[in-house]
Amino acid sequence: MNPKVLIVMGSDSDCPVMEETAKILEQFAIPYEMRIASAHRTPQKTAALVEGAADRGIQVIIAAAGLAAHLPGVVAAGTILPVIGVPMGGGPLNGVDALYAIVQMPGGIPVATTAIGKAGAKNAALLAAQILALGDAELSGKLLAYRQQMATEVEAKDRKLQERR
C-alpha cells in the first residue's frame, strides 16, 4: 500500500523520538514513509522529497527538527499538503528554540506544531490520523475507539486508586 504520511527528520538522532510517531501510525494501519533530509545539509534532496510527495500518495507530512528547526517550514514552503512540525528536545534550550522556530511561521505558510519530544511525536501521528479520517469512516471509527480506550484506562486507574484508600 502506498504511504499516506511522510515522516521526515533532519537527523538520525531524531529517530528514537519519531519512532513514537511510527508506532501510532502502525496502530491505526496508516502506511507511512520515514526519511532523513536536512533543510541545511541536503536542501535539494529535501525539496525533491517534498515536491514529489503528493504524486506518491502522501496526504500529510510530519517534519521533526531541533535547534533552529527550519525543516518543517522549508517543507511547508514546498507543498500545499498539511505539515505538522515536531520540535525535538535537546540543545542549550532543551527544545524551546525548536518550538519557537516551528510555531512562529509567517502568515501564509502554516505548520501545525506539537509539543516538544515524544508527546509531540505521538500527537503528530494522531493529528495526521484525524486529518486522514475526514475522508475515511473506518479510520474515524478507530480514532473514536482509541479515545474510548484511553477513557476506560483512566477510569480503571481511578478505581484502583480509590480501592487503595
Binding positions for substrate: 11, 14, 41
Residue 111, phi then psi, degrees to nearest 5: -135, 115
| Residue ranges at the known binding site | 11, 14, 41
- CB neighbour list of residue 132: distance below 8 Å, 6 or more residues apart: 4, 5, 30, 59, 60, 139
